[in-house]
Amino acid sequence: MNANPELPHNELPKILLVLAAFATVPLWITAVGLYPYLPVEIVIWCIFAMGYNLALGYTGLPSFGHGAFLGIGGYAFGLAQFNLHPNLWLCLAAAIVAGMVAGALVAVFISHRRGIYYALLTIAFGEVYFFIATKWHDVTGGEDGLLNIRRLPAEFGFFSVRLDDNWTLFYFVLALFAIVIAGLWRLTRSRFGTVIQAINQNDRRAAAIGYNVWVYKFLVFALSSGVAGLAGALLAMAQQGAYVQVMSLQWSGIVVLMTLIGGGLVSFWGPVLGTIVFFLARDVLGAATETWLLWYGLSFMLIIMFKPEGIAGILQDLGRRMERPRPVQARSSGLQ
Render pLDDT for 176-222 as a digit per residue (tens, 0 to 9): 999 999 999 999 999 999 999 999 999 999 999 999 999 999 999 99
Judged against a pLDDT cut of 80, whether residue 5 lies above it is answered with no
Q: What percent of the chain is predicted at pLDDT more than 70?
A: 93
> What dihedral do alpha carbons 93, 102, 175, 4 form, nearest 10°?
150
Q: How confident is the model at residue 299 (pLDDT cuts 50, 70, 90)?
A: confident
pLDDT at 180: 95
Q: Are 71 and 105 in contact (CB under 8 A)?
A: no
Render pLDDT for 145-156 as a digit per residue (tens, 0 to 9): 899 999 999 998
Q: What is the three-state SS of 92-121?
A: HHHHHHHHHHHHHHHHHHHCCCCHHHHHHH
C-alpha–C-alpha distance, residues 315 and 189, integer Å: 22
Q: Could you tell me which residue, 292 or 25, shows the higher pLDDT?
A: 25
Give the global pTM: 0.90
Judged against a pLDDT cut of 90, whether residue 283 lies above it is answered with no
β-strand pairing of 146-147 with 241-242:
antiparallel
